[in-house]
A = this chain, B = another copy of it.
Amino acid sequence: MAQTKPYPGTQAVLRAVSLLKVFTDQRPEWGLTELTQEVGLNKTTTFRLLTALESEGMITRNNQSDAYQLGPAIVMLGGRALRSNDLRSISRPELKALVASVGETASLELLTGHEMLILDEISGGHVMSGGQTIGTRWPAYATSTGKVMLASLDWDEVESILPQPLAAITPKTITSMDMLHRALDQVRVQGFAVVDEELEMGLRAVAAPLYDFDGDVAGVISLAGPTLRLTDQRLPAITELVLSAARRISVQLGAQPD
């Protein structure tokens, strides 16, 4: 499904990784036979790969149902990946400051494939234990952060990345490539992106790009909240806050302040 580069001598590894990726939030547990069908491998091969992954803790078996699921080693590596990400540690204080002054939810995201990956999220509510959504992904074309990232690419690259047709997630979702093209142009001019109920009814978000030392977009931050609270009146001020937070982060990433 996601063949990027066929490199020789790596079949087993690619297959093993594709097995891992089958475990989603919707379907976190699998039987061997199901997995075999899903990835289209021989049952023996699937079994062998799983056994290897299991011996390393990348896969565990729910000891009641003996179904396969992702294991502790994955969680451990995920934590390391997050902590070693300096983008995250640099951005975090700024995200916290944003949340403190606006009172909504701020996040740091990256484009992976055609989806936005949540690297960090500071919740505005009084819910402890953030991090529940870290690692989640959303379609790029229907998010504020996604629009920012897509706007940093050439249009033909955007076309090749996005799975078409664009599915309508809400009645307001942008579903025509033409409209998306124009929307991205606007993002480029403005320097930020807004999403208004395109991903979820009643949800608004503003996103601004983070630039690294050579002017590339290294990530995006956003502030999201209910339309009821992110009113038209407040939006300009909030946008300015998000933009200035993004600029401060960018400076720390080595970007030249315009």
| A contact set with B: CB distance below 8 Å | 2-5, 7-10, 12-14, 16-18, 20-21, 23-25, 28-29, 48-49, 51-53, 55-58, 63-64, 69-85, 93, 110-113, 117-119, 128-129, 131-137, 212-214, 216, 218, 251-256
* Interface residue from B24, B29, B51 paired with A7 (Cβ < 8 Å): B51
Known pairs A13-B13, A76-B112. 6 more at Cβ < 8 A? A20-B77, A72-B85, A74-B80, A79-B134, A83-B135, A83-B214
Nearest CB of chain B from residue A119's CB, rounded to whole Å: 7
Q: Given that A53-B13, A80-B23 are contacting pairs, would A135 and B252 also be in contact in the complex, using a CB cutoff of 8 Å?
A: no
Contact A76 B213 (CB under 8 A): yes
Chain multiplicity (copies): 2
Contact A82 B14 (CB under 8 A): no
Query: How far is it, in angstroms, between the C-alpha of A198 and the C-alpha of B2 when the chains are bound?
Result: 47
Contact A79 B213 (CB under 8 A): yes
* Interface residue from B2, B85, B128, B254 paired with A69 (Cβ < 8 Å): B85
21 A–B contacts, CB within 8 A, in A order: A8-B48, A10-B12, A10-B49, A13-B49, A13-B52, A23-B77, A25-B83, A57-B112, A72-B81, A74-B77, A74-B78, A77-B135, A78-B254, A79-B133, A79-B135, A79-B136, A79-B213, A79-B214, A79-B255, A82-B131, A131-B214
Contact A84 B72 (CB under 8 A): no
Q: Which residues of B contact A134 (CB under 8 A)?
A: 75, 79
Contact A82 B112 (CB under 8 A): no
Q: Which residues of B contact A52 (CB under 8 A)?
A: 7, 10, 13-14, 17
* Interface residue from B21, B78, B112 paired with A78 (Cβ < 8 Å): B78
Query: How far is it, in angstroms, between the C-alpha of A192 and the C-alpha of B20 when the chains are bound?
Result: 36
* Interface residue from B10, B29, B63 paired with A48 (Cβ < 8 Å): B10
Contact A55 B14 (CB under 8 A): yes
* Interface residue from B58, B128, B252 paired with A17 (Cβ < 8 Å): B58
Q: Which residues of B contact A8 (CB under 8 A)?
A: 48
Query: How far is it, in angstroms, between the C-alpha of A93 and the C-alpha of B71 when the chains are bound?
Result: 16
Query: How far is it, in angstroms, between the C-alpha of A29 and the C-alpha of B85 when the chains are bound?
Result: 10
Q: By CB atoms of chain B within 10 A, which of A72, A212, A254 has the most?
A: A72
Q: By CB atoms of chain B within 10 A, which of A85, A93, A110 has the most?
A: A85
Contact B254 A72 (CB under 8 A): yes
Nearest CB of chain B from residue A255's CB, rounded to whole Å: 8
Q: Which residues of B contact A49 (CB under 8 A)?
A: 10, 13
